[in-house]
Amino acid sequence: MDMACFPLLILLLLSSPCQSNDQLKQGNPLSPGDLLISEGGDFALGFFSPDASNKSLYIGIWYHNIPEPQRKVIWVANRDSPVTSPSSAKLSVTKNPELVLSDSQGSPLWATKNDAASGGARAFAVLRSTGNFVLQLPNGTEVWQSFDHPTDTILPGMKVLLSSKAQGATRFFAWKDLNDPSIGNLYGGVDPNSNLQFLIWNGTAPYCRTTVFNDITQSSSTYHSNGTSVLYQELVYIGNELYYMYYVSTGSPYTRVTLDYTGKMKLVSWNSNMSSWAVITESPGSHCDTYAACGPFGYCDHTSGGVPTCQCIDGFERVDEHNITRGCQRKEVLECRKGNHFVTLPGMKVPDKFLRISNTSFDQCAYMCNQNCLCVAYAYANISDATGSMIDTSRCLVWTGDLVDMGKSDVEENLYLRLADSPGKQKKKKAQERMMQEYLSSMDGVVDKNIEFPFISFEDIILATDNFSDSNILGKGGFGKVYKGMLEGTNEVAIKRLGKGSGQGTDEFRNEVVLIVKLQHKNLVKLLGCCIHEDERLLIYEYLPNKSLDYFLFDSARKSMLQWTTRSKIIQGVARGIMYLHQDSRLTIIHRDIKASNILLDKEMSPKISDFGMARIFCSDQHQANTNRVVGTYGYMSPEYAMEGAFSVKSDTYSFGVLLLEIVSGLKISSPHRITDFPNLIVYAWNSWKDRKTEDLVDLSVKENCPLDEVSRCIHIGLLCVQDSPDCRPLMAEVVSMLENKTIQLPTPTCPVYFASRDAETGRDGNSRFRLMACGATRTLRRFAPTGCQRSAPTASADRRLRNP
């Protein structure tokens, strides 16, 4: 024999004798009893009946080498339309080309769809050694393949399109029952909301959920079945399409992933020694792994080594010891604030119901969650993308509601959870709060002792103001400094820090807290809370963006921003605010320090009276009080108060009159040098009015665009308020009426009195004395006898009890 022919002979022997039976050709359909066997003999395709007692027939693919009852059908064509009369059923390749299953009547029970391919004259179907049944053209073009239409099983090498923009998500439907391949309630697939996790549903309810995909473009793991095998998995984003694929190392036994009729997704491997399928992994692995089994804020713990059990995440405790599904609740109530801390929970299967924030770095992700009070937790991953086709590889997940369906194992994923302050800090806060309550209730006076008052902790104030950083200072005064701050995540507040340790600061603090907490009026600044910490006294107010009246009024450039309509609105608002203090609130309150810098402006430039540190409460039968400590601001102080310490609601009327004249003129009471020919603003106003030249007084920056009669009326009212005798001055209720009702006749003002602070002398009792000036003439008087003054007609709302008979 010619040695050269020998190899050729072997080739012929290998290829020639066996009639190929892995192909289905046109004109040669498959009937019940016929089989296609894949090359190598691993898989078979044919008609089968899952239940011996039921003659229904299905076309399926199964492991050819595995005997019943372990043989497993891995694909079914006509799962919802079984052949019931087997006699003439057949599966054929048509010329379209299509695969068609027809019964005795010749009507199709099942068919592949072919919209694209043509030239099917010699098309055929082949069962490949991978278990893929492929309809193809002679030149190799694949028209259809079973791997693109999986039923309940994923085989190695099967490239599964999990989701795509065009086709939606692929679903794996479990058999309805052990012996019933029809579509059941249980199915698996990618979560269509996120494309980031795999879920098993029971009907519409989630039944089991995988971890959220993070870094697994490729991963490998080993498993033991019949020997050691390696499993390679791939999750690939290609454009908008997400694919899953796995392989096993060569020589590995049969391996498959199947969603079985009990709802378990299993990776199993054939163990020929044991003649059984060995379960390598399954999901859910235990009851604890089923969806939300541990309730809100609970997780299934796989780290103990034993049977997984439900646990509560850090900072949480069981709602109900006897019913795990009720989940967990916070040990410390979470009050959202900038200083909340986040704890890192490692090894987490992160919860469901997340929101993905696109295109973010880890820091941005953390920051966004921190800044939003609704954000309970976040997790971040950088999805590695070997193909480079993913537009956004950042995976920032945030949660705003209950955290459900968590697990803990050895996965590489951290969950960052928002927790309330530490217990130590909470305790400290409670102590501070109690101290505050005791402090307030120890105070005497007419104030309600059971005062409910929002207490804000010193730590939160430190955070809100960046530890009282200079860049947050809004203003300074004798009392201390005012800072801008951010409390509770988003609210801007103004924080007044009273002079440390000074007795005066403490008095002012008391006053302010007890007074203003009870007051509610749109023209009074709102107190939001307070804080006592060691020798610190802090008051927290609503933040008003437009600073105070003096900031605009006495600045040559900014005063033009206050046109007459705004000034008129401010005058009326301040008058209403003082009227409320005097008679509309439950108490009669004398502010004692009405002045331009204490009038704050909101974003609509409406006035809000602030600073109640010097205010005094009058009981209902009290009209006047005397004090040895004259406090207030020179220029705005009424003569009887500056001279004798006597104050009443009429001292506020006087201060308001001065303020009104300032607003009209844009001149400061305390800087007389700016007025030529007159010692001060009051005398100037009086003389203008007397000489019927009130327009001279009007601020040049509003003069052009204002109704002079209205301005003139305002000046007239201002002069009534600064009259020498308190009895002659109108009540604020009357002032409000006069301002708002132009038909009210104004009485004629008497000559005002002012005092010259520069000539102040100190008397024997330590109090300052002033030389009083009246209409330019010097008088030294202890007390003015009421000179004749014209009373305005009392208004209906005027409070008579405050008027001397």
Q: Which stretch binds ligand NAG (CB under 6 A): 270-278, 641-649, 667-675, 773-781?
A: 270-278
DSSP symbol at 521: -
Binding mask 474-513 for ligand NAG (x = CB under 6 A): ----------------------------------------
Q: Write the CA distances from 671 to 414, 446, 635, 659, 668, integer angstroms.
A: 65, 39, 10, 14, 6
Q: Write the CA distances from 74 to 71, 135, 184, 257, integer angstroms.
A: 9, 18, 16, 10
What is d(CA 175, CA 723) in angstroms, rounded to the nearest whole number? 97
Closest residue to ligand NAG using C-beta atoms: 119
Q: Which of 688, 686, 689, 683 minimizes the C-alpha distance to 773?
A: 683
Q: Quote the least distance from Cβ 429 to ligand NAG, whole Å.
A: 15
Which of 22, 103, 421, 593 is catalytic? The answer is 593
Contacts of 602 (CB under 8 A, 6+ apart): 544, 545, 546, 608
CB closer to ligand NAG, 383 vs 675: 383
Contacts of 250 (CB under 8 A, 6+ apart): none
Binding mask 593-632 for ligand NAG (x = CB under 6 A): ----------x-x---------------------------
Q: Quote the least distance from Cβ 545 to ligand NAG, whole Å.
A: 4
Strand partners of residue 485 = 493
Q: Which stretch binds ligand NAG (CB under 6 A): 24-32, 147-155, 241-249, 267-275?
A: 267-275
Token pair, residue 538, equals 């802090």
Q: Indicate if 593 belongs to the active site.
A: yes
Binding mask 175-214 for ligand NAG (x = CB under 6 A): -----x-x--x----------------xx---x-------
Report cis status (omega within 30 of 0) of the bond before 97.
yes
Among 210, 286, 329, 546, binds ligand NAG (CB under 6 A): 546
Quick one: CA torsion of 272, 274, 277, 278, rounded to 10 degrees? -110
Binding mask 103-122 for ligand NAG (x = CB under 6 A): ---------------xx---
Q: Is 442 in the site for ligand NAG (CB under 6 A)?
A: no
Q: Quote the least distance from Cβ 54 to ligand NAG, whole Å.
A: 4
CB closer to ligand NAG, 78 vs 588: 78
What is d(CA 679, CA 655) in angstroms, rounded to the nearest whole number? 18
Q: Which stretch binds ligand NAG (CB under 6 A): 147-155, 421-429, 431-439, 738-746?
A: 738-746
CB closer to ligand NAG, 56 vs 102: 56
Q: Is 129 in the site for ligand NAG (CB under 6 A)?
A: no
Q: Phi and psi of 787, rounded to 5°? A: -85, 165
Q: Quote the least distance from Cβ 595 to ligand NAG, whole Å.
A: 20
- Taking a C-beta distance cutoff of 8 angstroms, is the pair 355, 399 a contact? yes
CB closer to ligand NAG, 7 vs 251: 251
HSE, side-chain direction, 13 A CA sphere, residue 561:
14
Q: Is 276 in the site for ligand NAG (CB under 6 A)?
A: no
Q: Is 226 in the site for ligand NAG (CB under 6 A)?
A: yes
Footprint of ligand NAG on residues 383-412 (CB under 6 A)?
Answer: 391-392
Token pair, residue 320, equals 């109900």
Q: Which stretch binds ligand NAG (CB under 6 A): 66-74, 160-168, 356-364, 442-450?
A: 356-364
782, burial (CB in 10 Å: exposed 0-12, middle 13-18, buried 19+): exposed
Angle at 731 between CA 726 and CA 732, to 5 degrees: 125
Q: Which of 592, 491, 470 minimizes the C-alpha distance to 544?
A: 491
Binding mask 289-328 for ligand NAG (x = CB under 6 A): ----------------------------------x-xx--
CB closer to ligand NAG, 23 vs 304: 23
Size of the site for ligand NAG (CB under 6 A): 41
Q: How far is CA 342 from the centre of its chain?
A: 15
Q: Quote the least distance from Cβ 362 to ligand NAG, whole Å.
A: 4
Element holding 550 (H helix, E strand): helix 549-553
Q: Quote the least distance from Cβ 569 to ligand NAG, whole Å.
A: 12
Q: Quote the least distance from Cβ 330 to ligand NAG, whole Å.
A: 18
DSSP symbol at 541: E
Q: Is 139 in the site for ligand NAG (CB under 6 A)?
A: yes
Q: Quote the least distance from Cβ 613 to ligand NAG, whole Å.
A: 25
Q: How far is CA 802 from the centre of its chain?
A: 51
What is d(CA 676, CA 674) in angstroms, rounded to the nearest whole number? 6
HSE, side-chain direction, 13 A CA sphere, residue 416:
19
Q: Quote the least distance from Cβ 74 to ligand NAG, whole Å.
A: 16
Among 23, 141, 304, 797, binds ligand NAG (CB under 6 A): 141
Q: Is 687 in the site for ligand NAG (CB under 6 A)?
A: no
Among 54, 490, 671, 787, binds ligand NAG (CB under 6 A): 54
Q: Quote the least distance from Cβ 514 to ligand NAG, whole Å.
A: 29
Q: Sort strands 377-382 and 265-271 into parallel, antiparallel or unpaired.
A: unpaired
Q: Write the CA distances from 210 to 120, 230, 326, 503, 732, integer angstroms.
A: 42, 21, 22, 64, 72
Count CB atoms within 10 A of the CB of residue 223.
17
Q: Quote the least distance from Cβ 383 to ligand NAG, whole Å.
A: 8
Strand partners of residue 270 = 277
Q: Is 462 in the site for ligand NAG (CB under 6 A)?
A: yes
CB closer to ligand NAG, 344 vs 626: 344
HSE, side-chain direction, 13 A CA sphere, residue 450:
0
Q: Is 56 in the site for ligand NAG (CB under 6 A)?
A: yes
What is d(CA 472, CA 644) in angstroms, rounded to the nearest whole number? 40
Judge whether 113 is annotated as a binding position: no
Q: Is 239 in the site for ligand NAG (CB under 6 A)?
A: no
Q: Is 359 in the site for ligand NAG (CB under 6 A)?
A: yes
Q: Which stretch binds ligand NAG (CB under 6 A): 150-158, 359-367, 532-540, 748-756?
A: 359-367
Q: Is 561 in the site for ligand NAG (CB under 6 A)?
A: yes
What is d(CA 610, CA 474) in angstroms, rounded to the nearest whole number? 14
Q: Is 273 in the site for ligand NAG (CB under 6 A)?
A: yes
What is d(CA 390, CA 371) in angstroms, rounded to the nearest whole number? 28
> Tokens 């201002």 correspond to what residue?
718
What is d(CA 461, CA 339) in angstroms, rounded to the nearest whole number? 10
CB closer to ligand NAG, 685 vs 736: 736
Among 15, 19, 222, 467, binds ligand NAG (CB under 6 A): 467
Q: Write the CA distances from 83 to 12, 173, 199, 481, integer angstroms.
A: 41, 20, 32, 89
Among 23, 219, 382, 787, binds ligand NAG (CB under 6 A): 382
Angle at 484 between CA 482 and CA 487, to 5 degrees: 125
Among 16, 222, 743, 780, binds ligand NAG (CB under 6 A): 743
Contacts of 604 (CB under 8 A, 6+ apart): none
* Binding site members for ATP: 496
Q: Which residues participate in catalysis according to the annotation?
A: 593
Chain residues that interact with ligand NAG, rule: CB under 6 A:
54, 56, 82, 118-119, 137, 139, 141, 180, 182, 185, 202-203, 207, 226-227, 253, 262-263, 271-273, 323, 325-326, 359, 361-362, 382, 391-392, 462, 467, 545-546, 561, 603, 605, 741, 743-744
* Binding site members: 496
